[in-house]
Amino acid sequence: MKLFINGKTKEVPDSITVKQLLEYESVEMPQYVSVQINEEFVRRELFEQTYLSEGDKVDFLYYMGGGQQAGPGDLTMEQVERYSRQLILEEVGLAGQQKLLGSSVLLVGVGGLGSPAAYYLAAAGVGRLGLIDYDKVEMNNLQRQILFNAGDVGKLKVQAAAKTLSALNPDLQIETYPYRLSDTTALSLIKDYDFVIDATDGFANKFLVNDACFFAGKPFVHAGILRFEGQVITVLPGKTTCYRCLFPTPPPSGAVPSCAQAGIMGVLGGFMGVLQATEAIKYLLGKGELLTDRLLYLDARQMYFHQINTGRSPNCLLCGENPVITELSEEHVTCPAAAAKEAGSDENF
């Protein structure tokens, strides 16, 4: 029978499966070839039982050509093997993987949220990760901050984190910033990255990330965790609901308990941090639907997920019709009445 294989008409035996066709065509390294029949991807596990019919249009998508070492812009053999489980996803493929390798994400905080987020981004092959955190690893962090081990106690978090992430994936470029995000450093830092993960702890930092991303025009994903609860939302500044649309100004210091005061189940950071990494990967790939204009809330005690649809507030102090905040300033990220007491109130998540 005749098939149209990669644009050419070819005569092949009748009643042939995809697996047999790969053999018949002497396709090299068939484990790294994706197959489309009539422009529909065929799942690898179905190669053996999927039969071709007369006139089918068959496309082989090669991650590698001719069994030779990859050329510029292509993946190395090791990368093909490392990312093979996502390369076969239609939403990723070779082009998506190259996008991820060419992308950058800034993690503001590498604690309870930042640890799992960074771990999965590194594993997925996001090419450049920026880590900003001025804290040192403490013993009480190990209950949830999975980038660190007992031997890291006393070390700078960004250094310990970079070591763990590099060990996982030596392909990556990891930039470390062992200082506090401030209104003077935030904009230039954020401009250098494609996407930002708000993995901060105190409210001042959460408002600072929101405001800085707005002025830098960078998308980011917010998450907050406390006790057994967590929330997450992605923000495309100027286009979708921002953190200030939902929470106009920071609460007075002490009005909302910190994790150090109220406690935190370590897995909550895992839940929310992994959701943040998922949003980052979707954004970088340009696939799926982002968690914008809806706040996802989790109460892990009941394992209750709830989605609150939101919209941009016309009265938002930052992105509303008559904005009050017109430049990045730390004056706007602390509760005015409590500003004097705020200094040093950050807690470790």
Is 94 or 196 the residue whose CB approaches Zn ion more closely? 196
Is 130 or 219 the residue whose CB approaches Zn ion more closely? 219
Q: Where does residue 292 rank: exposed (0-12), middle (13-18), buried (19+ CB within 10 A)?
A: middle
User: In the bound complex, what is the minimum distance in angstroms from residue 315's beta carbon to Zn ion?
Assistant: 9
User: In the bound complex, what is the minimum distance in angstroms from residue 319's beta carbon to Zn ion?
Assistant: 3
245 contributes a contact to Zn ion by CB under 5 A: yes
Residue 105 forms beta bridges with which residues?
A: 129, 195
Is 201 or 211 the residue whose CB approaches Zn ion more closely? 211
Is 233 or 242 the residue whose CB approaches Zn ion more closely? 242
User: In the bound complex, what is the minimum distance in angstroms from residue 253's beta carbon to Zn ion?
Assistant: 23
- Dihedral of CA atoms 57, 58, 64, 66 in degrees, nearest 10, equals -100
Q: Which of 171, 11, 185, 175 is nearest to 80 (CA)?
A: 171
Is 18 or 245 the residue whose CB approaches Zn ion more closely? 245
Is 275 or 318 the residue whose CB approaches Zn ion more closely? 318
User: In the bound complex, what is the minimum distance in angstroms from residue 147's beta carbon to Zn ion?
Assistant: 32
Select the span of 120-128, 144-152, 180-188, 244-252 touching Zn ion (CB under 5 A).
244-252
Is 36 or 292 the residue whose CB approaches Zn ion more closely? 292
User: In the bound complex, what is the minimum distance in angstroms from residue 234's beta carbon to Zn ion?
Assistant: 13
- Residues 264-303, one symbol each (x = binds Zn ion by CB under 5 A, - = not), give ----------------------------------------
Task: Kindly tell me which residue out of 144, 218, 222, 244 binds Zn ion, with binding defined by CB under 5 A.
Answer: 244
- Map the footprint of Zn ion across residues 313-342, applying CB under 5 A: 316, 318-319
Number of residues that bind Zn ion (CB under 5 A): 6
Is 75 or 242 the residue whose CB approaches Zn ion more closely? 242
**Residue showing tokens 């702890």:** 201
228 vs 303: CA distance, rounded Å: 9
Q: How many C-beta neighbours within 10 Å does residue 254 have?
A: 13
User: In the bound complex, what is the minimum distance in angstroms from residue 179's beta carbon to Zn ion?
Assistant: 27
- Residues 17-56, one symbol each (x = binds Zn ion by CB under 5 A, - = not), give ----------------------------------------
Q: Which of 164, 158, 113 is nearest to 280 (CA)?
A: 113
User: In the bound complex, what is the minimum distance in angstroms from residue 323's beta carbon to Zn ion?
Assistant: 9
Q: Which of 198, 211, 269 is nearest to 245 (CA)?
A: 211
- Map the footprint of Zn ion across residues 203-242, applying CB under 5 A: 242
User: In the bound complex, what is the minimum distance in angstroms from residue 239's beta carbon to Zn ion?
Assistant: 10
Binding region for Zn ion (CB under 5 A): 242, 244-245, 316, 318-319
